[in-house]
Amino acid sequence: MSNHRSATSNPRPAGDDTSCVAADDKKHDGPGSSITSSDARTAPLTMDSLISTLESTLSTSPCGIDGIDSEDDGKIGTISTLNHDFMASRQDWYGASLKYWDDVKPTVDGMLGGYANLSPSDLAASNKFLRHVQRNKRPDLQFGASCECGAGIGRVTKGLFLPLNFTQCDLVEASAELISHAPEYIDDPGGGSTSQHLTSNPASSKCRFFCTGLEEFEPKPNTYDVVWVQWCIIYLTDLDCINFLRRMGTSLRDGGILVI
């Protein structure tokens, strides 16, 4: 799964100061204090507990909890039935996404579904947004370590984090084909996907590359100042999304933010 892209719809430009931020869900006991999180917020959520919560909540809803399968018009009686059918194809769900992005050209145009012209304005708005958050919302936010989720070839790392002088930039991407091109793209001063101008200290030397899906990525706690999840969270199942956000929340440093 890669940043700024969708296999089923065209990407749309990110907003500026109205972008969504989820701050770290940690308790601060004062300067220099340790960061603590309750087990309830950090332990992986199980599908059984998620279904139980959903059914309990929806049982009081006038809408009910049944529905229709859009593919064969069959009625789905319960959330449990829907989940059973879906989990049987979970591997196909992620496999189809990976196959699609493995076939996409490792260029900015490929990452943005043919809308490379949007990239400069998108990155400028994102830069403005981060500076606004640091200046007006989170003065203790540091531009130290970043994580670009669904990174593709590293468009956001190259165009946003490195210009802001982040000292460590992690890129997480499921497609081995795309992430293999990331160092070349990041080091190319011309912005292309290949480079003939590598220096003795290339920009990619600040980067670490993780070839794994977001559903399997498990960073260490207290690692990142900024976690960036842009136009890729749609590729996660509901349960994987919840557990992913919990893990990434735990990975935030004191004052860190998660941007969706």
Beta strands 145-149; 67-68: pairing state: unpaired
Mapped onto helix, strand or coil, the DSSP state of residue 94 is: helix
Amino acid at 35: I
Q: Give me the mean pLDDT over the 163-179 stretch.
A: 98
Q: What is the pLDDT of residue 12?
A: 33
**pLDDT exceeds cutoff 60 at 19:** no
d(C-alpha 19, C-alpha 93), whole Å: 28
Would you say 172 and 151 are in contact if contact means Cβ atoms under 8 Å apart?
yes
Best CA proximity match to 102, nearest among 209, 10, 174, 208: 174
User: pLDDT per residue over 190-239, tens digit each?
Assistant: 754 333 344 568 999 999 999 999 999 999 999 999 999 999 999 998 88
The continuous run of DSSP H or E covering 102 comes out as: helix 90-102
Would you say 95 and 1 are in contact if contact means Cβ atoms under 8 Å apart?
no
**3-state SS, one letter per residue, for 107-145:** CHHHHCCCCHHHHHHHHHHHHHHHHHHHHHHCCCCCCCE
Better-predicted residue by pLDDT, 25 or 244? 244
Instruction: Determine what percent of the chain is predicted with pLDDT higher than 70.
Output: 66
Q: What is the pLDDT of residue 207?
A: 98
Beta bridge partners of 119: none
Best CA proximity match to 158, nearest among 207, 114, 105, 111: 207
Give the number of other Cβ atoms within 10 Å of residue 247's Cβ: 17
Better-predicted residue by pLDDT, 55 or 177? 177
Q: What is the pLDDT of residue 39?
A: 46
The continuous run of DSSP H or E covering 257 comes out as: strand 252-259
Best CA proximity match to 255, nearest among 10, 8, 33, 7: 33
d(C-alpha 204, C-alpha 257), whole Å: 23
Q: What is the pLDDT of residue 90?
A: 82
Q: Give me the mean pLDDT over the 43-53 stretch.
A: 74
Q: How many residues does the chain have?
A: 260
User: pLDDT per residue over 91-137, tens digit each?
Assistant: 888 999 999 999 999 999 999 999 999 999 999 999 999 999 999 99
**pLDDT exceeds cutoff 70 at 63:** no
d(C-alpha 210, C-alpha 187), whole Å: 18
Kindly report which listed range (12-16, 56-60, 69-73, 197-201) carries the lowest average pLDDT score: 12-16
